[in-house]
Chain A
Amino acid sequence: MSEPEPENEEEEEAETDGGVHTHTVRLELVDEPGELLNALQPIADNGGNLLSIFHERGSMTPRGHIPVAVDLECPPDRFEAIIDSLRDAGVNVIEADTERYTEAFVVVLVGDLIGADLSDTISSVEEYANASVVDVSLSAPGGADDTASARFRLAATEGHAEDALGAVRDVADGKGLDVIEPLVVGQ
């Protein structure tokens, strides 16, 4: 006859102290002095409580960045503000709990990639595509003056792979490059 007591208690607990949730945020930092502090400050400023920082100084991402995993707790309504302020501060947020870069896809760009400034192409794609360039392979058998190809592996946030591909098209278009697209993005 009695109500399932424990379940109720849990629910009540969650509601009473609820507001504070634990989150894991993955960042990529440039290897420069002060970058870590720069990344942590917005968290504290927006009501987040740092629990732990895992700073993998030894392992670089393909782009030469340093991955950092931050555990923090904050009221649910503050989490988005923390992520926004991190992005405003120029910090590259790779993963923020539920918002994961889950849709990876590959494109091949063709043309005068070296003349079109490969590194600017990569950063333009990241900037406009709301996607992360996970991996780049360049093949320029004819040297710098000939037509070259570059394979980009991109990771977009869930449901945004189409948008990311559109942004890649725009960037390539602006630089006079051809895009060999995947048949289906997100696969």
Chain B
Amino acid sequence: MKLAIVGAGAVGASVARLAGGAGHTVVALADSTAAVVDSGGVDVEAALAAKESGDPLGSRNPEALFESDYGVLIEATPTTLGDAEPGFSHVERALSDDRHVVLANKGPVAERYDDVRALEADSEGEVYFEAAVGGAIPILSTIAGQGEGNVTAARGVLNGTANFILTRMAAEGLGYEHVLAEAQDLGVAETDPTFDVEGTDQALKCVILANVLYGGGYSLADAEVEGIDSIPGSALDLAAEDGRTVRLIGEVSEGEVRVGPRLVPENGTLAVTGTQNIVQLETEHAGRLNLSGRGAGGPETASAVLADVARLE
């Protein structure tokens, strides 16, 4: 397939690097300021090296990406809330040109799912977004495989940063601020960790799951969200005394979306440690399915993007 990749951060760059090995050609790569376009195949390493050294990715303006002869748009720009721009417009443009879209960006399918599906209905192109929920873990394809209506609920840990902090707090008896600083030093948490520790990122993933399970109609405003930033070490100590621990759990069940700290058995399935993610699906016929793995990271998330591209072939 011929790929046009918009967004050249960790995920976009990894998709660009791994595309060749998966038998695809990158015909365009753009970030917010520039694009490189080559119908014979972009020199990915040269473009990324230029960006790394502070130069533009290429000589064209970002808009040129949409003029290329791509078959699939890879949308890997940062997630934004509300109108989900510029991601949404990128999706709109590709679908109106009858191209396929694969999203790593959560915004359009969390905040404007019904709009995206309406555009898809009028287009020859299709939209996939496995990478937007749980990084490398094949959650959406598993749900699709179970058949419509056969997955009745989903719950799990879908934010590695929050999980890392809770794991370290419980294991080392350290306070929240201390562990957050450590996580920032390790690059596990961003300088502004709000999105992760207040539960927003995990809520967006759960909203996407709700849209998939219930056929749309959900946005972040429909989720009840609580973060982990007010949990003291003493709460984890008391939980541990009782054979439990605290995890930031997202739940999609009976039409509701909730994210918040929950008590779970210390050695239970959902108590994954460090930056691991897990999703538990309740199914009509297959019982309970537990899917765990890496929920973030460039190559990990890129593998989910490329799995979606393979579904379009």
Contacts and interface: CB of A to CB of B under 8 A. Distances in A.
Interface in B218-245: 226, 230-235, 237-239, 241-242, 244
Contacts, number: 61
Q: Name which of A141, A182, A183 has the most chain B CB atoms within 10 A of its CB.
A: A183
Contacts of A181: 260, 262-263
A180 B232 contact: no
Contacts of B235: 108, 110, 139, 149, 180
Contacts of B207: none
Nearest to A109: B235
Contacts of A182: 262-264
B204 interface: no
Contacts of B261: 180
B224 to A, nearest CB: 11
A178 interface: yes
B232 A107 contact: no
A8 interface: no
Contact of B239 (A147, A148, A178, A180): A180
Given A141-B233, A180-B231, A108 B241 contact: no
A176 to B, nearest CB: 11
Interface in B240-291: 241-242, 244, 246, 249, 251, 260-264, 270
A137 interface: yes
Contacts of A147: 230, 232, 234
A186 to B, nearest CB: 13
A149 B251 CA distance: 24
A182 B242 CA distance: 12
A149 B238 contact: yes
A140 B239 CA distance: 14
A150 B238 CA distance: 7
A65 to B, nearest CB: 22
A180 B262 contact: yes
Contact of B238 (A108, A178, A183): A108
Categorize the interface residue count of chain A: 10 to 19
Contact of A183 (B155, B231, B241): B155
Among A108, A139, A140, A148, max chain B CB count under 10 A is at A108
Contacts of A108: 235, 238-239, 246, 263
A148 B234 contact: yes
B264 A151 contact: no
Interface in A105-136: 106-108, 110
Nearest to A108: B235
A137 B238 contact: yes
9 contacts: A110-B231, A137-B238, A139-B234, A150-B238, A178-B231, A181-B263, A182-B263, A183-B249, A183-B263
Given A139-B234, A153-B242, 16 more contacts: A108-B239, A108-B246, A110-B231, A110-B232, A110-B235, A137-B238, A147-B230, A148-B234, A149-B232, A149-B234, A180-B231, A180-B262, A180-B263, A182-B263, A183-B251, A183-B264
List of 6 A-B pairs having minimum Cβ-Cβ separation, nearest first: A139-B234, A149-B235, A149-B234, A151-B238, A183-B262, A182-B263
Interface of B: 155, 226, 230-235, 237-239, 241-242, 244, 246, 249, 251, 260-264, 270
